[in-house]
Structure 1
Amino acid sequence: MTGTDRQTDRRLERAILELLDRRAPAATICPSDAARAVYQGDDDGWRALMEPARRAARRLVAAGEVEVVQGGRPVDPARARGPVRIRRTP
């Protein structure tokens, strides 16, 4: 992993936490919200950051900072398939 990749990973983690901090305590965000917040362009290039955003969420789950949910219920982010949301750990 290059320094740039690590830097992007950290920026995605910070974006997830900052976006959640701006919302109500039980609010959720989509990984795409973090990808869009970190992406520096005007086109759809943020889509390339979707999997890195999901990985950032998984790291934050492992750290106990957030949980990944589907249908309002916590799920194992490594096994989740389809759309997920991220929220602060209660």
Structure 2
Amino acid sequence: MADDEQDWRAVILELLGQRAEGATICPSDAARAAGGERWRDRMDDVREAAHGLVADGEVEITQHGEVVDPSSARGPIRIRRRR
């Protein structure tokens, strides 16, 4: 189980590495992969880790296929490697 932001970042990047170039993941994919039975409780941790990866230039956050600022994104998001 992922315990801190670095763990969640690694989970996100690992899942994206298993996908085709340009493919996205839902934060719930990462939460389910490493969050155990209480994966729903880990969604904020995953989103926070994704925000850190955006700041590092590793990934992009999208909504409806468009890149969005993670600090203003509300509702469902997707994560993809930066193009």
Same fold, TM-score > 0.5, yes or no: yes
Structure 1 position 17 matched with structure 2 position 13: yes
Shift of 1:8: 2.3
Please tell me whether residue 83 in structure 1 is matched to residue 76 in structure 2. yes
* CA distance in structure 1 between the partners assigned to 2:35 and 2:45 by the alignment: 12
User: Deviations for 1:17-72, whole angstroms, at most 9, x for unmatched residues?
Assistant: 000000000100001111111113xx3x1011000100000000000000000011
Equivalent-residue separation in structure 1 for 2:17 and 2:60 (angstroms): 14
Residues 1:51 and 2:47 are matched in the alignment: no
Q: Which blocks of at least 5 consecutive residues in structure 2 are unaligned?
A: none
Q: 1:64 aligns with which of 57, 61, 80?
A: 57
Extract structure 1 runs of 4+ deviating beyond 6 A.
none
Which has the greater radius of gyration?
Answer: 1
1:27 matched to 2:18: no
- The percent of aligned pairs where both chains have the same amino acid is 54
TM-score by length of 2: 0.93
Deviation at 1:75, TM superposition (A): 0.1
Letter of the 2:75 counterpart? G
How far apart in 1 are the matches of 2:34 and 2:66?
Answer: 27
Number of equivalent positions = 82
Instruction: Provide structure 1 residue ranges, at least 5 long, that are not aligned to the other structure.
Output: none
